[in-house]
Amino acid sequence: MDLASLSRAELENKFLQLSMEVESLSAKLSWYEEQYRLSRTKRFGPSSEQTPFDQLSFFNEAESEASTFVVPEPTLEEAKIPFRKSKGRKKAITENLPCIKIEYQLSQEDRSCPQCGNLLHAMKKEIHRELTIIPAQVNVTEKVRYIYACRNCERTGISTPIIKAPMPSPVIKNSLASPSLLAHIMQRKYVDAVPLYRQEAQFGNYGLKISRQTMANWVIQGSHNWLKPLYQQMHQVLLTRNLLHADETVLEVLKEPGRDTTMNSYMWVYGTGRDDIPITLYQYTQGRSGDFAKKFLQGFSGYLQTDGYAGYHKLESEGSPKILLSGCWAHARRKYDEALKGISEKEGTSALLTKQGLEYCNTLFRIEKSIKHLSIEERYLRRKQDALPTVEAYFNWCKDLSEKVLPKSLLGTAITYSLNQEKYLRRYLLDGGIEISNNRAERAIKPFVIGRKNWLFSNTPKGAESSAIIYSIVETAKQNDLNPFSYLEYLFHQLPNIDIHSNQVLASFLPWSDRLPQSCRNMSRQLASTDAN
């Protein structure tokens, strides 16, 4: 193009066009640089989102605008922590374990004094404790049931009565699976995240040949026959609560009728709040539509705490006026944490603003940490006093910056997320029982995510449903301080021999029931509690 032939007006238009293109390309380049730095940080940097206290200590504007909330600094005397060697720790660790005593004594011939020849007496005992492991063993339990008949009736009667000795019903009929074996397989897969093909190899080391297909059939039968009624009653109890948490994650199911193997299914998790009975339930669905959550929570009334996924909005906007959604401040904070990792140090203004947004969120979490031990009503009043001013200042700050930063930049994304979620993020101020974040649901979904990394996928929808049932049982058991293996073994011993269709009977087998035997309790939790006291 010959610029000399252009008029002044044409040159000005060309300059304006090129300036706009440069500005657009610069914005795109900046966005790609942020994404590159963020991806490098996620891949090679620390995964923790914790912010060191002194990292943002130079910036105090958020706290000055917030409230009178002040964290008192410890005095020099309080800061000194003398080193003390804990006493009795070994005894506390081992006191609830079976003890095998081995005594070492002098023989009768060696008990004579080397100086005078008189008999030696035991002056004291020196005790050394150590932990020993008994490797797993697979035994065959042969149950013999005697059947009785009357010889007199055989000789003189028309019919002969046949009387069988009482014997407990097996967990799976015509199968080698015992309650302990089935509980062991489930515990290994759903608690220890050991897939069935590895268990197959481990059983082979014990001299036992059990195929993974056989184990999968046992798991499906055991969960659907005995654990599903318990799961359904836990679901009924869950719907009676007034605060729930929810989250979802991807699940691949290979053989779903009418669906391609590349299509994603989902595993949802629902749980109660911190001030309630610990319940965690999983649900397998063939999609991520909010209709699945709406159907599962039919009959529930109260607060539902979620992340920013729009599918949950159907519960509040379409025919469910009794359900109010509460947002997650951890997700809002995470946006600033990611932005801080992606912003270059050369971008001083953007970095400063990102740290400012992060500090607003950190202030709210520090307030929450200081009041977590209070009652629900006390937490509500303290939030109104200390957290509300910070929330107001934060959203005013977001609205002021929303038109000054690039919407697609990491900082712009963080601000936009908070503004879109403002109504839901403010909800935790309405009730002291609502938590500031949905981390409870994210922690509940983590065991499933860890297991998925090992066994990768479910083969059939029935297997995926079984996984949801078993994860619900074992995770709720863990939250109620039960040992998952002992609890599952107890259930498989008892449930085949009771009326599992009676809610009143099943109530005594729920994970929070005080009628469960002590053998189901988690001894390590008891030890930790004793040691802490």
Largest CA distance in the chain: 130
Which of 13-22, 348-357, 513-522 reaches the highest mean pLDDT?
513-522
Phi, psi for 194 (deg, rounded to 5): -100, 110
pLDDT score recorded for residue 7: 76
pLDDT band at 435 (very low <50, low <70, confident <90, very high): very high
- Checking if the pLDDT of 298 tops 80, the result is yes
pLDDT classification of 457: cutoffs 50, 70, 90: confident
Q: Are residues 334 and 246 in the same domain?
A: no
Per-residue confidence at 73, pLDDT binned at 50, 70, 90? Answer: low
Q: Are 449 and 161 in contact (CB under 8 A)?
A: no
Question: Of 198-212, 349-363, 485-499, which has the strongest mean pLDDT?
Answer: 485-499
Q: Do 500 and 433 have their domain in common?
A: no
Average pLDDT over residues 512-517: 94
Distance separating alpha carbons of residues 339 and 350, to the nearest angstrom? 9
Residue 25: enclosing H or E segment and its boundaries?
helix 8-44
Instruction: Say if residue 433 is in the same domain as residue 462.
Output: no
Whether 354 and 341 have beta carbons less than 8 Å apart is answered as no
Residue 206: pLDDT above 80?
A: yes
CATH of residue 203's domain is 3.30.420.10
Tokens found for residue 308: 């920013």
User: In the listed set 417, 437, 457, which residue is the last one of a domain according to the structure?
Assistant: 437
Distance between first and last Cα of the chain: 83
Domain containing residue 334: 330-437
Half-sphere exposure of residue 60, counting CA atoms within 13 Å on the CB side? Answer: 7
- My answer on whether 363 and 485 are in the same domain is no
pLDDT digits (tens, 9 = 90+) for 114-134: 888 888 888 888 888 888 888
Question: Are the CB atoms for 302 and 322 separated by under 8 Å?
Answer: yes
Pairing mode of beta strands 265-272, 323-326:
unpaired
How far apart (Å, rounded) are the C-alpha atoms in residues 376 and 66? 22
Structure pTM? 0.79
**In terms of C-beta density within 10 A (0-12 exposed, 13-18 middle, 19 or more buried), how is residue 31 classed?**
middle
- End of a domain among 437, 466, 482? 437
Domain boundary among 437, 469, 495: 437
Residue 418 is encoded by which pair of tokens? 């908070």
Q: How many domains does the chain have?
A: 2
User: Same domain, yes or no, for 191 and 323?
Assistant: yes
Strand order in the sheet with 323-326: 280-285, 265-272, 243-251, 302-305, 323-326
Parallel/antiparallel/unpaired status of strands 280-285 and 323-326: unpaired
3-state secondary structure (DSSP) of residue 149? strand
Q: Are residues 464 and 500 in the same domain?
A: yes
Are 316 and 367 in the same domain?
no
Tell me 223's DSSP state.
I
